[in-house]
Amino acid sequence: MIVFGNASFAKGMKLAGIDKSFVISQAAQIIKHLEGVDKNEFIIMNVSIAAMVPELLEEFANVVTLPDDTLEFGSTDDLKDIIRSAVGIEIDM
């Protein structure tokens, strides 16, 4: 599993135990990290990060995008449900 996101998102996922969590500010960073990655690798990223490389992401089978800001969710339960289904673990918030 690989996570790409803004600073708070990537750091939060790293704290949740996902070692391959990267803070992204440019499309070139995503391209570099995805070189040689299996096309079935599970990828989680912020919506704004995914917008940087939409064509590249079409090559991957398992991409989940999440809003950049938790305020975009109706509740923290929404975010917890998405993360639980994507990551397979529940994160306490």
**For residue 25, with 0-12 CB atoms within 10 Å meaning exposed, 13-18 middle and 19 or more buried, which class applies?**
exposed
What pLDDT, in 10s, does the model give residues 16-74? Answer: 888 999 999 999 999 999 999 999 998 999 999 999 999 999 999 989 888 877 565 56
Q: What residue ranges do the domains of the chain occupy? A: 2-87
Q: Is the pLDDT reported for residue 87 higher than 70? A: no
The predicted model scores a pTM of 0.75
Task: Confirm if 17 and 27 have CB atoms less than 8 A apart.
Answer: no
What pLDDT, in 10s, does the model give residues 6-31? Answer: 888 888 888 888 899 999 999 999 99
Pick the CATH number of 2-87 from 3.40.50.10580, 3.30.70.270, 3.20.20.70, 2.60.120.10: 3.40.50.10580
pLDDT at 50: 94
